[in-house]
Chain A
Amino acid sequence: MVNLTIDGKKVSVPEGTRILDAAREIGVNIPTLCYLKEINEISACRVCTVEVAGSEKLVPACSTPVQEGMDILTHSPRVMQARVTNVSLILSQHNASCTSCTRSGNCALQTLASDICYQPSYGNSPAKMDWNTKYPLIRDASRCIKCMRCVSVCDKIQTMHVWDVLGTGARTTVGVRDGMDLMDVNCTLCGQCITHCPVGALYSRDDAIKVVRSLGTKDKVYICQVAPAVRSAWGEDLGLGTDVATVGRMVSALRAIGFDYVFDTDFSADLTIMEEGSEFIERLTHRDQYPWPMFTSCCPGWLRFIKTEFPEYVPNLSTAKSPQGMFGAVAKSYFAEKLGRDPEDIVCVSFMPCTAKKWECSVEAINDAATRDVDTVLTTRELAKMLRNFRINVAALPEDDFDSPLGESTGAGVIFGTTGGVMEAALRSAYYLVTGENPDADAFHAVRGMEGVRAATFEIQGIKVRTAVANGLGNARKLLEAIKTGRAEYDFVEIMACPTGCAGGGGQPIRDGQELGEGRGGYLRKLDVAKPIRFSHENPSVQKLYAEYLEKPLSHRSHKLLHTDVSQWSLK
């Protein structure tokens, strides 16, 4: 242990602890901007500098390890002056038109600037924004503070190296690697750079206005679907915990802002399991006709990744569409028929924890029931923004149920939103499809957890099923390398591009410096346990859909509506 003094208080911390963390131990909160623990420890912004008694220079608290006997001052006159200077310097190049910024009220720089008594004396000359704002992922150079977090996150967590530092000296900036266009560098659109940006320099395309200005008009039927992970986080940007921001109130809120039908992506997650599970059984029973292992196909970031990084494995993908895609196809065929409306009269809006879904819905090859099966994808952040826009008082709303028939779901559907959940849901039903009996709903708990790559082998009626689950694209890459070099062999592999899965998705609410995916995933697991039905194949609405319309999994109509050939998907 190392003993030191911070602002006159004694503290004892393990060797190697940084001054920043030592200070937090005793409740001293030193501000940071560029720091992201273990990901971006580059001490670039210099707003965390503190004074070490006897030291010639101030030192950055984020990267300086403690030393025995250090006497640290976090708000000496030198420190205060330095912090004011550095924040002012950052602000001199920052486009501080906060009112129109997606991060207003949730911005590390805004908070820091408003917390200090600063005297701007450097003028304001931000860089110019130079970006195609039609892209799902947008970078506004005028807001960038060059903290390099996006570069580090994309390098270290996702291993995609989309972002890079460009130029040197005063003209150093961040941009797409080699000065290329975003759409030419195989960006997966996972959005992890967005959720790790301390300011509003990176954001997903804001599509909410498209919905806001037409919602409730009578010539169209407005329906929406809500992805599993959205329910674990939708209240965060409204300042509400899951105790108030319940699933029932989320349904009420969506109804309150004008959706004619509020449906659930959990329903189509159950449908996905029927198709993907049956496909897996088909492959398993005709082993030599298929390449191995089979990969899940619900995550669009992962699909972009495999198409560019491991294209030889595209034939291994399950042909099942994602739950979002299946929902759109069913809504604009089966449900349209039920309503007796032209599919083109239905406006289908998805609420997703994801930025890449904005691309997925626009892929030409995925639209099988109408011009666009899903018209607009909005993120969890956009959902909260809309509710504020409509001035919905969530706490005062009653609990409500999803509409029928595309609103009924099982516990297996809700865990789609967390790493391992798709695998577990699929195994629950695959077991039933093979044996004709339900397993214990928790029989496949070995695939749960938060480690980057997890493997587990199960036996279903004498058939060994070797499974692997990876979350985060760096981990996916490791797993794929292992498969490619023959170091590992699996039958069924689930990949989610974002760390912790969709719960930690690029469209989820942002809390600077906090990783909330694991907690949100835990909430989804609780919802699973609380559900009366925990097997996708027991979803009555899914059963009814097959009986009335699709006939059976992998039927001709299922193939037409619910399956896709990812090799035909354009990445642009």
Chain B
Amino acid sequence: MSRLQIQTPGKAERTVSELYKDLERRIAVAPSGNCPVELTGAFLRLCLAQSCGKCVPCRVGLNKMSELIDKILDGEASEDDLDTLEYSAKSIADTADCAIGHEAAQIISDGFAAFKDDYLSHIHNHRCISSFAAVPCASNCPAHVDIPGYIALVRAGRYADAVRLIREDNPFPSVCGLICEHPCEEHCRRNIVDNSVNIRGLKRAAIENAGTVPAPKCLPPTGKKVCVIGGGPTGLTAAYFLALMGHKVTVYERRKQFGGMLRYGIPRYRLPASYLDADIDAILSTGVEAHLNVDVGKDIKFEDILENYDGVYIAIGAHSYKMPGIPGEDSKGVLSAVELLRAMGDNEPMDLKGKRVCVIGGGNVAMDACRTALRLGASSVQCVYRRTVKDMTALPEEIAGAEAEGVEMVTLMAPVRVNADAEGNVTGLVVQPQMLGDYSRGRPAPRKADAPEVELKCEVVIAAIGQAIDFGNLREAGVPEKMGKLQTENTGEVAGKNGVYAGGDCASGPATVIKAIQAGKIAAANLDEYFGFHTDVSQDIEIPQAGYQFKNACGRSNMRERAPLERVKDFELIENEMPLEEAMQECSRCLRCDHFGYGGFRGGRQRW
């Protein structure tokens, strides 16, 4: 008689395990606009199915809460039922014996805090206040680029039309083809089948194959004059659309070149100057009057601009930086990532040959600083971060790229002070080991571990812990600020200043390029309305009809990069183009949500 046996999962168990994986992907797609109450009810049923059924709160309580939610959804509940639901959730969370019941009840409580309005709407008006987002990628793209449209055009080989279509919402197709953070891919419905479509890769395929695509003709002059302060992505986006609408646009940029953080923040190995210049050339070709080396507030008075223009867009970005505030940070060899990258933008690289470099931070800018330092000849680069690699805010591919190129991730270490020699030159960064503890704002908070400090020997310390906004003379001009940012309405309007709009990093805090483009587009549209127009800049590009297609699972084509140890020697672009064969397969993976599903109803296209 044997007492124990090796357990192998049965067919049902194996299948359920697979179903869980399918469901994980489906949940990850999270279409926007579904009724949150209905989803809560569905989650609750799932939790109930996971219950062992021993304890009252979980076995009976979850079931009763599920029934109450159904009653609410059927429009048959009163506010009393809502109260019952609310206190039941608390009691169940308080008394459940294990995580299954406790966390399930927590779902209800969290939902209450987040969307009580929706619950009330179901009770009083018998309906949901959310509305379904038809095309997940386009809805989730801050600039609402017509993604299924341009993918269909790439598939049809109409690359120039694809570029034109992208430009209807975003005048930086080349830039975004390379460095957009592609929030569009996050909710791609293709995730339900296998994996999201490589949308950014297809945008790059469009620009690589389109050749030079001239900007469209501007509409007849309206006589309105707009001044854009700052020649970064948001300022130039606004300038481009306003010029197309027929308004006269002048841009003032205080640096030697246009591009803002795209030039002075993003390293050339991710975004070569030629790509950036291609977009900027097209934008300026619309007749935007462009001035470099003009510092508004110093060279021109802000008041004069208010006087001389019908509308103003403040787009000064976030070009200042934060330092950690630790002893010794004024030593020679301590600098900010912003300074390092800005110098690269004007092709005035710092000499880091043979030096040991410590970079503080775990965001994308920290990765850019690490990888730039390696390319500038640093003998070693250590990336110092208080939490773990998993907690870093940098994109996973950026972290992986940095590691592959030889950056050492020194995690769970907090900087304490910079050591320097008698001349004040950095000799090392002293760090304190950390451990992860309780969660705070959705992330585990690090705290000091009971372990001795460590000195990381180095000659250069680069801080990449955040940017700040340099208001220059705007503060004196009375532009309101709040928490270190320009204060604006969600329309971009600066309160109390008619015709003055602000957007991009200076209003939102440091953010992605596509969010900067969104802000520029919003400012252009609202300035146009402010002038009394309702100009449509779309060009009626005919989108190929969605055909009947197979939707079998098919692998996603990812971008390939040059070999790490080769690419780290230069500043050339590290990412390879997607071969056309792969691009075509990738296009065919697009589910055309602009045609199928809700997209076929009221059209999947968004006009702005």
Q: Is A252 an interface residue (CB 8 A)?
A: no
Task: Kindly list the 6 A-B residue pairs having the minimum CB-CB distance in the complex, ordered from nearest.
Answer: A42-B601, A42-B600, A64-B548, A179-B127, A168-B35, A168-B34
Which A-chain residue is minimally distant from B601 (CB atoms)?
A: A42
Q: Is A55 an interface residue (CB 8 A)?
A: yes
Q: Which residues of B contact A55 (CB under 8 A)?
A: 548, 550
Chain B, 230-268, CB within 8 A of any chain A CB = none
A148→B603 CA distance, assembly (Å): 13
Instruction: Report yes or no: B601 in contact with A56, Cβ–Cβ below 8 A.
Output: no
- Nearest CB of A to B232, in Å: 36
A-side interface residues toward B, CB under 8 Å?
A: 16, 40-44, 52, 55-57, 59, 63-65, 67, 148, 151-152, 155, 165-171, 175, 179
A57→B545 CA distance, assembly (Å): 19
The SS class assigned to the B binding surface is: loop
Q: Is B531 an interface residue (CB 8 A)?
A: no
Q: Is B87 an interface residue (CB 8 A)?
A: no
A170→B34 CA distance, assembly (Å): 11
A-B contact pairs, 30 of them (CB 8 A): A16-B545, A41-B600, A42-B601, A43-B600, A44-B601, A52-B548, A55-B548, A56-B550, A56-B551, A59-B548, A63-B600, A65-B545, A148-B601, A151-B601, A151-B602, A152-B601, A152-B602, A155-B602, A165-B601, A166-B128, A167-B127, A168-B33, A168-B35, A169-B35, A169-B38, A170-B38, A171-B35, A171-B73, A175-B127, A179-B126
A56→B127 CA distance, assembly (Å): 37
Chain B, 96-120, CB within 8 A of any chain A CB = none
Q: Which residues of A contact B596 (CB under 8 A)?
A: 43
Q: Which residues of B contact A43 (CB under 8 A)?
A: 596, 600
B580-601 interface code vs A (CB 8 A; 1 in, 0 out):
0000000000000001100011
Which B-chain residue is minimally distant from A172 (CB atoms)?
A: B132
Q: Which residues of B contact A67 (CB under 8 A)?
A: 547-548
Contact of B547 among A56, A64, A148, A168 (CB under 8 A): A64
Q: Is B125 an interface residue (CB 8 A)?
A: yes
B2-38 interface code vs A (CB 8 A; 1 in, 0 out):
0000000000000000000000000000000111001
A551→B550 CA distance, assembly (Å): 76
Chain B, 553-608, CB within 8 A of any chain A CB = 595-596, 600-602
- Nearest CB of B to A562, in Å: 40
Q: Which residues of A contact B34 (CB under 8 A)?
A: 168-169
Which A-chain residue is minimally distant from B42 (CB atoms)?
A: A169
Q: Is B130 an interface residue (CB 8 A)?
A: yes
Instruction: Report yes or no: A168 in contact with B132, Cβ–Cβ below 8 A.
Output: yes
Q: Which residues of B contact A44 (CB under 8 A)?
A: 601
Q: Is B347 an interface residue (CB 8 A)?
A: no
What would 18 more interface pairs be, CB under 8 Å, given A56-B551, A67-B548, A169-B34?
A: A16-B545, A43-B600, A55-B550, A56-B552, A59-B548, A63-B595, A65-B545, A152-B601, A152-B602, A167-B128, A168-B128, A168-B131, A169-B35, A170-B38, A171-B35, A171-B128, A175-B127, A179-B125
A67→B602 CA distance, assembly (Å): 25
- Nearest CB of B to A93, in Å: 14
Contact of B548 among A16, A65, A151, A166 (CB under 8 A): A65
A67→B596 CA distance, assembly (Å): 18
Contact of A57 among B125, B132, B551 (CB under 8 A): B551
A423→B552 CA distance, assembly (Å): 59
Q: Which residues of B contact A41 (CB under 8 A)?
A: 600
Q: Which residues of B contact A152 (CB under 8 A)?
A: 601-602
Q: Which residues of B contact A52 (CB under 8 A)?
A: 548
Instruction: Report yes or no: B600 in contact with A168, Cβ–Cβ below 8 A.
Output: no
On chain B, which size bracket covers the interface?
A: 20 to 34
Chain B, 108-165, CB within 8 A of any chain A CB = 125-128, 130-132
A165→B131 CA distance, assembly (Å): 8
Q: Which residues of A contact B126 (CB under 8 A)?
A: 179
B355-389 interface code vs A (CB 8 A; 1 in, 0 out):
00000000000000000000000000000000000
Which A-chain residue is minimally distant from B550 (CB atoms)?
A: A56
A59→B130 CA distance, assembly (Å): 30
- Nearest CB of A to B589, in Å: 15
A55→B131 CA distance, assembly (Å): 33
Q: Which residues of B contact A165 (CB under 8 A)?
A: 131-132, 601
Chain B, 29-86, CB within 8 A of any chain A CB = 33-35, 38, 73
Q: Which residues of B contact A64 (CB under 8 A)?
A: 547-548
Which A-chain residue is minimally distant from B130 (CB atoms)?
A: A168
- Nearest CB of B to A141, in Å: 11
Q: Which residues of A contact B550 (CB under 8 A)?
A: 55-56
Q: Which residues of A contact B548 (CB under 8 A)?
A: 52, 55, 59, 64-65, 67
Which A-chain residue is minimally distant from B545 (CB atoms)?
A: A65
- Nearest CB of A to B44, in Å: 15
A151→B603 CA distance, assembly (Å): 13
A65→B544 CA distance, assembly (Å): 11
Q: Which residues of A contact B127 (CB under 8 A)?
A: 166-167, 175, 179
Task: Given the known inter-chain contacts A55-B550, A64-B547, A179-B127, please indicate yes or no for A168 contacting B38, CB distance below 8 A.
Answer: yes
Q: Which residues of B contact A168 (CB under 8 A)?
A: 33-35, 38, 128, 130-132
Q: Which residues of A contact B547 (CB under 8 A)?
A: 64-65, 67
B413-428 interface code vs A (CB 8 A; 1 in, 0 out):
0000000000000000
A168→B42 CA distance, assembly (Å): 13
- Nearest CB of B to A490, in Å: 23
A43→B592 CA distance, assembly (Å): 14
Q: Which residues of A contact B601 (CB under 8 A)?
A: 40, 42, 44, 148, 151-152, 165
- Nearest CB of B to A524, in Å: 35
Instruction: Report yes or no: B38 in contact with A171, Cβ–Cβ below 8 A.
Output: yes
A57→B596 CA distance, assembly (Å): 14
A90→B73 CA distance, assembly (Å): 21
- Nearest CB of B to A468, in Å: 22
Instruction: Report yes or no: A167 in contact with B35, Cβ–Cβ below 8 A.
Output: yes
- Nearest CB of A to B60, in Å: 25
Q: Which residues of A contact B73 (CB under 8 A)?
A: 171
A43→B550 CA distance, assembly (Å): 17
Q: Which residues of B contact A169 (CB under 8 A)?
A: 34-35, 38
A104→B488 CA distance, assembly (Å): 58
Which A-chain residue is minimally distant from B38 (CB atoms)?
A: A169
Q: Which residues of B contact A166 (CB under 8 A)?
A: 127-128
Q: Which residues of B contact A148 (CB under 8 A)?
A: 601
A167→B33 CA distance, assembly (Å): 9
A472→B524 CA distance, assembly (Å): 34
A56→B596 CA distance, assembly (Å): 16
- Nearest CB of B to A157, in Å: 13
Which A-chain residue is minimally distant from B132 (CB atoms)?
A: A168
Q: Which residues of A contact B131 (CB under 8 A)?
A: 165, 168
A266→B278 CA distance, assembly (Å): 68
A462→B314 CA distance, assembly (Å): 58
Q: Which residues of A contact B552 (CB under 8 A)?
A: 56
Q: Which residues of B contact A63 (CB under 8 A)?
A: 595, 600
A171→B125 CA distance, assembly (Å): 14
A151→B130 CA distance, assembly (Å): 18
- Nearest CB of A to B96, in Å: 28
Which B-chain residue is minimally distant from A63 (CB atoms)?
A: B600
A44→B600 CA distance, assembly (Å): 9
A519→B146 CA distance, assembly (Å): 41
Q: Which residues of A contact B600 (CB under 8 A)?
A: 41-43, 63
A148→B598 CA distance, assembly (Å): 11
- Nearest CB of A to B373, in Å: 49
Q: Which residues of B contact A65 (CB under 8 A)?
A: 545, 547-548
Q: Which residues of A contact B35 (CB under 8 A)?
A: 167-169, 171
A63→B73 CA distance, assembly (Å): 33
Which A-chain residue is minimally distant from B73 (CB atoms)?
A: A171
A170→B70 CA distance, assembly (Å): 12
A59→B550 CA distance, assembly (Å): 10
A83→B301 CA distance, assembly (Å): 72
- Nearest CB of A to B238, in Å: 25
Q: Which residues of B contact A155 (CB under 8 A)?
A: 602
- Nearest CB of B to A121, in Å: 23
Which B-chain residue is minimally distant from A161 (CB atoms)?
A: B602
- Nearest CB of A to B100, in Å: 25
